[in-house]
Amino acid sequence: MIKKARDVIDLYREKIARDKQSEADAVLIMQLLAGREVRAGKVNIRYLPRNGPEERRARSALAREVRRHMKGFSGELLALAIDPRTPTAIPGMRPTRKILFIGAAQGKESKWARDLRVVHFIRGELRKTTGKLEPALAAAEAEFGLKRSSVHSIYTSHQRLAEKDWQRLFPSKTK
């Protein structure tokens, strides 16, 4: 009985360790793919330095995630393309391609992650101010260092998209 109880405790400890590793991996993967926020009076998105130790850890995390969800040769080849340093479970398999994480396009960078944070912040402020939009917009303006028109545009465009999604998911039965 004691041995079984210890086994259960050990399994639980292993699960907790895996969950913590999984959470840390998720953070690293998001930093690799979407950048991270650096505050200096406003929101700036910075990506991990290329070939730096943080990028290597993030690549390893992404390769682990690919292996976890994509079994077989194609998943293993994709994981090796993301991180050729990680060992493979398939004997003799080596990377055939390499994936570089560079900016998608020249010009303005994507602001979708920032916009989601702005919308989330405004919703939190709306809960605090019992639904009054103007104080929530002013607080977001101060928090993110954006102009009021930008904050308003981000929030209203998100609301329109959410409404379209809602209508698409739950179409009206009366027309």
Q: Where are the domains of the chain?
A: 2-82, 112-169
Does the structure show a pLDDT above 80 at 118? Answer: yes
Does the structure show a pLDDT above 60 at 1? Answer: no
Q: How far is CA 68 from CA 8, 34, 83, in A?
A: 24, 21, 14
Distance CA 97, CA 16 (A): 35
Distance CA 69, CA 115 (A): 29
For 53-76, the pLDDT digits (tens) are 888 999 999 999 899 888 888 999
Tokens of 127: 């809960």
Residues 117, 36 contacting (CB under 8 angstroms): no
Residues facing 45 on adjacent strands: 37
Distance CA 65, CA 24 (A): 12
pTM for the complete prediction?
0.60
The residue ranking higher by pLDDT, 148 or 170, is 148
The residue ranking higher by pLDDT, 15 or 58, is 58
